[in-house]
Structure 1
């Protein structure tokens, strides 16, 4: 464990107090948790506050396009076997939100922090993490996010020379290339169902060949590294070849992959895979994701899917036809305003499901579904959509702000 730093300076204490006050005002006004505005106020008063707050913690940073909120939660639960944990569990993953989270962790031993992909290198410089977990990279928020290879290059440059142990998914070529600049890498075979952002070699631009056991560039030799941790069906294989069962309340292959990476992170801190994985079972939902709620006398399972890779994983875990499905898409600032990504999603996987479409961009989605040859109805509200669907539990899939809209409507 990192040695405790000196008590916070008067300036830092003032910044923390002011930040908490700003957050409280925001909550009282009904504008959310207040973590972002609280962090902004605190950092304005003390720009070095994030580093000061992390000084006594063993920090884990988690970054990816998909799955970082869930993996952060799983790691936090695992590390609680070793001591108190502070974490930005609700997903405020830029410096302001991270600062707010750490401000409440004066008694913690570990800091488990989700970090937006674009801010990873800067946050890593500030908090000097012991472990950085890199899960995947794919297209997201097309109007403002860098092209995926550029983002991987940013990671690669920013992490070069880092003293942290990098726990990285060896099945994602972009993650492998980004992590390979680091001296200490633990490779996890976590899988990668979405491959459409990594057909060319990130090292030289050549075409990646995709044999069953990974990937290799025929021009420069860049290839999938040998993993020391492996997701194998319902088990995690550790570096000694022992198989540990994964028992999660969270559904789907993607969450088993998140658990495998989380077990590898926990092992860096001396927490055995059996202990780590048993603790992960307690996670039933993450910020409303995977919750089953009752609304209009119907059961709805709430599923978040923000981009093509996320939608692909989500389709793999919904109940089979004829289970009714509600799809909701917005294009607000937090989502990215470019909806062209809808054309990269294979919506034919929903064939046989009764489908109702809502959300700000319901007409954009309707055009995409029509081209895919699917039958669907379009509605202004969730209540209308539910009324148009046949009986049975409903799978509700929404992107980021649409998901928050639904949670407010159903009282979750």
Structure 2
């Protein structure tokens, strides 16, 4: 539990040291940050290490299909107003990556941890969090992740005995159903742009009614709870009815929603909304997302979109036509190898933009755009796409490993 400062056992210290050594070797070999391999080595030597590392921390867990990494960063910035924070800021969000992150934070007071949806219940058991933020659930990595309702059921079962304060999005029926088994829930009206995974009631299977921003099941009466925090325009409305302005350098409505949930989490730890939101302004980019970089004499803005819900939000961010857009999609292990989700995305929203297609699965994307009736050009490389694009800042939209490929190429 937080507050217990019992020193690490010799075995735990050995595991931490070995993990850091393995990570250093991985970095030296040019294989990334090394956080995952370092965590795997450490956990092999001490399977209880994650729990031991978290015992002196007040822990926040953040889980969702979209927005985990950004929200984790915003919460971390907010909580730094109250003490040192350790966080898996680069998004290594399975037990090995989380263990590596916590191993580097011996002086921290707070642990702000992004957790992959599938691992949430297990990590929550290990680290005894004080707060868990649940943002959304939608289809993603169809070959790896469970169907969304099954994932919600895992959350519901895994969190039913938790003493953590659950900060949950009242606008996502799957999240509400998952959180409803918990003892303490703070409901946030954060919105839900993508609704195609929540038309049937997760409780009884009935058809969900969605008048305006409300929702309810006509069969069993399962309905949207009354939120105590809300995003209204450019303000966060707190439980006392006070409206606090959101000033973010990150673009789009989705990030205002992330800031609203983050302010609700910060309040659990005694950080007032005004202080929390002011600190969030410092965040300009998150693991390369939203960065504007110069490449081949052009300005490129890097945007990550991994699934239909994420693409929908990203389309709302891009500059209007005729801004050129480069789309890059891979289907490697970290992306999920099933690209059928491309057919769930409404690419007609890109009409009027010069479109360039790259990535491992550029032909899959080309077929999808052809059916949507859009003009586009398939390119072999990012360099070719950038050199072929008409004047103006170029928007790059890529899924996970394609995004990493782009960052490496542009030196970001």
**Normalising TM by the smaller chain, what interval?**
over 0.9
Give secondary structure in 1 for the equivalent of 2:300. strand
In the alignment, what sits opposite 1:12? 12
Task: Output aligned runs, 1:31-46, within 5 Å.
Answer: 31-46=31-46
Return 5+ residue gaps in structure 1 as ranges: none
Query: What is the Cα deviation at residue 388 of structure 1?
Result: 1.4
Give secondary structure in 2 for the equivalent of 1:299. strand
Counterpart CA distance in 2 for 1:87 and 1:386 is: 35
Task: Output aligned runs, 1:155-234, within 5 Å.
Answer: 155-234=155-234
Q: Deviations over 1:32-52 (max 9, x none)?
A: 000000000000000000000
In the alignment, what sits opposite 1:281? 281
Query: What is the Cα deviation at residue 191 of structure 1?
Result: 0.1
Query: What is the Cα deviation at residue 248 of structure 1?
Result: 0.2
Counterpart CA distance in 1 for 2:213 and 2:289 is: 32
Normalised by the length of structure 2, the TM-score is 1.00
Q: Deviations over 1:187-209 (max 9, x none)?
A: 00000000000000000000000
Alignment length (residue pairs)? 412
Task: Output aligned runs, 1:232-271, within 5 Å.
Answer: 232-271=232-271
Counterpart CA distance in 1 for 2:47 and 2:203 is: 36
In the alignment, what sits opposite 1:369? 369
In the alignment, what sits opposite 2:136? 136
Query: What is the Cα deviation at residue 161 of structure 1?
Result: 1.4
Displacement over 6 Å in runs of 4+: none
Q: Deviations over 1:40-90 (max 9, x none)?
A: 000000000000000000000000000000000000000000000000000
Query: What is the Cα deviation at residue 336 of structure 1?
Result: 0.3
Q: Deviations over 1:130-159 (max 9, x none)?
A: 000000000000111100000000000000
Counterpart CA distance in 2 for 1:4 and 1:322 is: 58
In the alignment, what sits opposite 1:383? 383
In the alignment, what sits opposite 2:105? 105
Please tell me the root mean square deviation across aligned C-alpha atoms, in Å. 0.6
Query: What is the Cα deviation at residue 389 of structure 1?
Result: 1.1
Task: Output aligned runs, 1:23-38, within 5 Å.
Answer: 23-38=23-38
Query: What is the Cα deviation at residue 118 of structure 1?
Result: 0.0
In the alignment, what sits opposite 1:91? 91
Query: What is the Cα deviation at residue 214 of structure 1?
Result: 1.4
In the alignment, what sits opposite 1:57? 57
1:403 and 2:403 are equivalent in the alignment = yes
Conservation of the 8 A alpha-carbon contact between 2:2 and 2:54: no
Query: What is the Cα deviation at residue 387 of structure 1?
Result: 1.5
Query: What is the Cα deviation at residue 353 of structure 1?
Result: 0.3
Query: What is the Cα deviation at residue 386 of structure 1?
Result: 1.1
Counterpart CA distance in 2 for 1:4 and 1:311 is: 43
Q: Deviations over 1:152-181 (max 9, x none)?
A: 000000000100000000000000000000
Normalised by the length of structure 1, the TM-score is 1.00
Task: Output aligned runs, 1:317-356, within 5 Å.
Answer: 317-356=317-356
Conservation of the 8 A alpha-carbon contact between 2:325 and 2:396: yes
Counterpart CA distance in 1 for 2:271 and 2:98 is: 25
Counterpart CA distance in 1 for 2:336 and 2:182 is: 31
Query: What is the Cα deviation at residue 217 of structure 1?
Result: 0.3
Query: What is the Cα deviation at residue 2 of structure 1?
Result: 2.2
Counterpart CA distance in 1 for 2:96 and 2:2 is: 23
In the alignment, what sits opposite 1:302? 302
Counterpart CA distance in 1 for 2:2 and 2:395 is: 45
Query: What is the Cα deviation at residue 288 of structure 1?
Result: 0.2
Return 5+ residue gaps in structure 2 as ranges: none
Give secondary structure in 2 for the equivalent of 1:161. coil
Counterpart CA distance in 1 for 2:3 and 2:124 is: 18
Query: What is the Cα deviation at residue 4 of structure 1?
Result: 2.7
Q: Deviations over 1:331-380 (max 9, x none)?
A: 00000000000000000000000000000000000000000000000000
Query: What is the Cα deviation at residue 213 of structure 1?
Result: 3.1
Task: Output aligned runs, 1:75-86, within 5 Å.
Answer: 75-86=75-86
